[in-house]
């Protein structure tokens, strides 16, 4: 909501960018996969060992954050 009020160009809205990506077959696959993955993560439907966001954060904390 705040993002939509701050953005000066409607073409930069997330919904418009997703629509633009989904016009191409590869963009549709990638956009849909990201949306599905995010929904599964946020709803805690998928186990942490299969959650891409969880795996990525563990990797980043270990390799960037210095956590052992």
Q: pLDDT tens-digit profile of 10-48? A: 777 888 889 999 999 999 999 999 999 999 999 999 999
Q: Is the pTM higher than 0.95?
A: no
Q: Do residues 49 and 57 lie in contact, with contact meaning Cβ atoms separated by under 8 Å?
A: no
CA angle 29, 11, 9 (to 5 degrees): 155
The token pair that represents 66 in the structure block: 């210095």
């Amino acid at each position: 909501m705040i993002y939509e009020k701050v953005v000066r160009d409607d073409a930069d809205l997330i919904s418009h960018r997703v629509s633009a990506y989904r016009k191409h077959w590869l963009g549709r696959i990638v956009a849909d996969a990201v949306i599905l993955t995010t929904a599964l993560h946020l709803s805690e439907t998928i186990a942490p060992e299969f959650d891409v966001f969880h795996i990525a954060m563990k990797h980043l904390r270990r390799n960037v954050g210095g956590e052992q």
